[in-house]
Amino acid sequence: MSWANAILDDFVMRAILAGIGLAFAAAPLGCFVVWRRMAYFGDATAHAAILGVALSLTFSVSIFMGVMGVALVMAFTVSTLSGRGFAMDTMLGVLAHSALAFGLVAASFLSGIRVDLMAYLFGDILSVMPRDLAVIWGGGALVVALLIWRWSALLTATLNPDLAYAEGVDPRREQMMLNVALAIVVAVAIKVVGALLITAMLIIPAAAARPLTSTPEVMALLAGGMACASVVGGIRAAWIFDTPTGPTIVCVVAGLFALSVTLGQLLARR
């Protein structure tokens, strides 16, 4: 079947819409992850998603709610323990891998429930159903609305915490806003790209847009455009080469990053 015919199939179109819904939310949020050097924090939150999946299946609740709940607990735990004698990277490493290990062990104890761990680790975008689309687009819209609402305050707190205090902005409150947005993105992304690839979709589009832009707003928009293009290109490449869809999407956006860095260096020399 040709790509032109395949794109008209319901499951392919749902996959594209799901990926674009995630890209619109993850890419602008990823800009703040890059600016604040929160990559490891995003990785820790994504790893904790597997524990959320296991708890959701154990207590028969929504996967979205379970993952988001565990992601929020991770965010609050990190915020509470930061500055109490623990190095941030060490603490995040301990929490990330502990949550992932406990999640995998908990999933092995689920009797009578078949758990496709590969789908949750690496995503299964081609199995997205209309109900999943509603969750992804609803969560994505909530994140975008939150970023638009707090954009100025978030930028100020990111650039200079002291200036933020002078302007009546609480940097810790803005950090918590970002943590909530990150938890929502992780919850909606686990079906699309899986826990191990969520951080890539947060960081790589933003990093790819950075060398080509001069303002935060343009960087966020360009990152979103690159992420959307990567989704469509990745799904098409996976269809042509019969490769795993989630990892292929990340490979495409990684290629865009390499191209962006090269182009940025050429422009700097000129």
Percent of the chain with pLDDT over 90: 41
10 falls within a domain: yes
CATH number (domain holding residue 25): 1.10.3470.10
Closest Cα partner for 104 from 40, 71, 55, 42? Answer: 55
How high is the pLDDT of residue 2?
56
Are 201 and 227 within 8 A, CB to CB?
Answer: yes
**Position 260 in a domain:** no
CA distance linking residue 80 with residue 71, whole number of Å: 14
Number of domains in the chain: 1
**Does 269 fall in a domain?**
no
Q: Residue 61's pLDDT is what?
A: 87
Domain that holds residue 99: 3-199
pLDDT score recorded for residue 106? 84
Residue 248 resides in a domain: no
pLDDT of residue 1: 57
- Local confidence band at 253 (pLDDT 50, 70, 90 cut-offs): very high
- Decide if pLDDT at 104 tops 60: yes
- Look up the pTM and report it: 0.89
pLDDT one-digit tens code per residue, 171-196: 988 988 898 899 899 988 888 888 87
Report the pLDDT value the prediction gives residue 112, as an integer from 0 to 100. Answer: 64
Per the domain annotation, does 261 fall within a domain?
Answer: no
**Per-residue confidence at 115, pLDDT binned at 50, 70, 90?**
low
114 within domain boundaries? yes
Does residue 254 lie within any of the structural domains?
no
Q: Looking at residue 142, what is its pLDDT?
A: 95
Does some domain include residue 232? Answer: no
Give yes or no for residue 219 having a pLDDT over 90: yes
**Average pLDDT value for residue range 205-218:** 94
Residue with more model confidence, 6 or 238: 238
pLDDT of the residue at 252: 96
Q: What is the mean pLDDT of residues 224-240?
A: 94
pLDDT tens digit string along 19-71?
Answer: 999 999 999 999 999 998 888 888 888 888 888 988 888 888 888 889 889 98
* Buried residues in 84-123 as b, exposed as e (16+ CB within 10 A): eeeeeeebbeebbeebbeebbebbeeeeeeebebebbbbb
Sorting pLDDT into bands at 50, 70 and 90, what band is 96? Answer: confident
